[in-house]
Amino acid sequence: MIVLDGKKTAIALKEEIKLTVDKRINNGKKIPHLAAVIVGNDGASLTYVGSKVRSCEQIGIKSTLIHLEDIISENELLKKITQLNNDDSLDGYIVQLPLPKHINEEKILLAIDPRKDVDGFHPSNFGRMALEMNSFIPATPYGIMELLKRYKIETSGKNCVVIGRSHIVGRPISILMSQKGPYGNATVTVAHSRTENIEALTRTADIIISALGIPEFLKADMVKQDVVIIDVGITRVLDTSHPKGYIIKGDVAYEEVARKAYAITPVPGGVGPMTIAMLLKNTLLACERRD
């Protein structure tokens, strides 16, 4: 059984990005600059954005954290987005989701300049990705494809089941897995909350990518021998015996499923670190496109 180590792979990827950034600096070119906008004080979001900022520092990318109060109005946030769009010092920026309920997330994401949309959520980038044109690929699906590539996981002609249909993970990864290319060409089925008898699909799958958000949903009796498992789920489960008061669980019952898997991502340490690494890669790409 192969553990698809996202932490180890992300470190290697960051080192590669750092070499490119160092070359830019030595050649007198612009240093890539990423900004992160966070609204409110959600603990998980603050932790996640903090790790992005630290990762930038590690590889020489400039970073700016813009922390706004959760009482900010939608119009005020849109004005901030316009400022970022017009800031030539910035190559890319992200708006951390979720946003407060009084703010329309769709309106905010549409306001982001697609050329600076390193999260890959803008419809222009999503559409270009679907048409196999140059675009910013959403960081989590991008990270999954990079893991499959680096571990040389065969995907061509394989039966792939994607559990979850979100615009952030499920929908884009289903598109990427079915596209032409050395790590695509799979036959993809998208399952979701309305799918009946989901076990009938997962038991015949060669590759399962789960982005459902239900802890340990996928059990050993739901998969076949030598399946490849990509677990995108990350849920805080209360645990009073743990110092933090919680533990992190994925969508997959890891211990039992791993015994049947050919390859599997752990949680934590699988897809999560790759997401941050690919965000940095998108930031470098944004800078290179502006050269």
pTM: 0.94
* pLDDT for the residue 77: 98
CATH code at 139-271: 3.40.50.720
CB-CB contact of 276 with 49 (8 Å): no
What pLDDT was estimated at residue 127?
Answer: 96
CA distances from 225 to 78, 207, 214, 256, 259 (A): 50, 11, 23, 12, 9
**Per-residue model confidence (pLDDT) at position 188:** 98
Q: Determine the Cα–Cα distance for residues 45 and 64; give it in Å rounded to an integer.
A: 16
Biggest alpha carbon–alpha carbon distance for the chain: 58
For the chain, what's the residue count?
A: 291
Q: Is residue 42 scored above 90 in pLDDT?
A: no
Fold match between 27-113 and 139-271?
yes
Model confidence at 266: pLDDT above 90: yes
Which amino acid is present at 259?
A: R
- pLDDT of 125 higher than 90: yes
pLDDT of 218 reads 97
- Local confidence band at 141 (pLDDT 50, 70, 90 cut-offs): very high
Look over the chain and give the mean of its residue pLDDT values, rounded to a whole number: 95
- pLDDT, one tens digit per residue, over 76-106 is 999 999 999 999 999 999 999 889 999 999 9
Check whether 150 has a pLDDT greater than 90.
yes
Q: Is the pLDDT of residue 46 over 90?
A: no
Q: How far apart are the C-alpha atoms of 62 and 33, rounded to whole Å? A: 4
pLDDT at 43 over 80: no
What are 50-81's pLDDT values in tens digits? 888 889 999 999 999 999 999 999 999 999 99
Please indicate whether residue 62 is annotated as part of the active site.
no
Q: Where are the domains of the chain?
A: 27-113, 139-271
Q: Is the separation of the CB atoms in 38 and 66 below 8 Å?
A: yes
| Residue spans of alpha helices (H) in the chain | 6-26, 43-59, 74-85, 105-111, 123-130, 139-150, 170-178, 198-202, 254-258, 271-290
Catalytic: which of 5, 91, 119, 251? 119
For domain 27-113, give the fold.
Rossmann fold (3.40.50)
* 225 has catalytic annotation: no
Question: Can you tell me the distance from the alpha carbon of 251 to that of 234, in angstroms, rounded to the nearest whole number?
Answer: 7
* Active-site annotation holder among 96, 206, 231, 249: 96
pLDDT value at residue 238: 86
* pLDDT for 273 beyond 80: yes
What number is the average pLDDT over the span 11-34? Answer: 97
Q: Is 119 a catalytic residue?
A: yes
The percent of residues in the chain predicted with pLDDT above 70, rounded, is 100
Residue among 5, 14, 52, 249 flagged as catalytic: 52
Question: What pLDDT was estimated at residue 191?
Answer: 97
Tokens matching residue 213: 């958000």
Instruction: Report the range of poorest mean pLDDT among 15-19, 42-46, 235-239, 287-291.
Output: 42-46
